[in-house]
Amino acid sequence: MDLRPELLPPPVSRERLDELSREIERIAALVELGPPEDADAAVAAFNAATGHDCAARDFTTYSGSRSTEEFAREVARPSRPRVPDITRAELAEIVRRLMEGGGDTDYYELLLQSNVVRPGAAGLVFRPPAELRDASPERIVEEILRYRPIAL
């Protein structure tokens, strides 16, 4: 199934990736070596420019799980890509893409989490309970959508 454009990972230009990568490395150096107030100001400006909510530690720990370019691509894209009229079929396609893996897995995981109310919905894809092992994407979406928050 093809996804409509608003559900696809937005392209990020090479120039934007390079710009964000340089800023990520600059902030990492400030966090590690600079005065804390300079690092805090740089992180706040970065968050204002990208619409994300990064903490200082994000700039010094990202390399344990992704490259500078992957971190830059993540912050170049929307922090919570909400699509109000997303359908079950589209959610199933997103789950299918998560199950297959690939270069945009992080984006599709964020897209899934941003468009359902179930906390940790992606866990049903990556760490399914016994009854969902080998389940179809449609079955996983059915389980995700069954969740109802408890009113307090």
Q: For residue range 23-40, list pLDDT tens digits in order.
A: 999 999 999 998 999 999
Tens-place pLDDT, residues 96-126:
999 999 889 999 999 999 999 999 999 999 9
Instruction: Tell me how many domains the chain contains.
Output: 2
CB atoms within 10 A of CB 35: 9
Q: Please state the separation of Cα 84 from the chain's center in Å.
A: 17
Residue 138 belongs to some domain of the structure: yes
Q: What is the pTM of this model?
A: 0.86
Residues 71 and 122 occupy one common structural domain: no
For residues 69 and 39, membership in a common domain is answered with yes
Residue 2 lies in a domain: no
Please indicate, yes or no, if residue 64 is contained in any of the structural domains: yes
Burial of 75 (0-12, 13-18, 19+ CB in 10 A): buried
Q: Do the domain assignments include residue 63?
A: yes
Do the domain assignments include residue 44? yes
Residues 69, 94 within the same domain: no
25 φ, ψ to 5°?
-65, -40
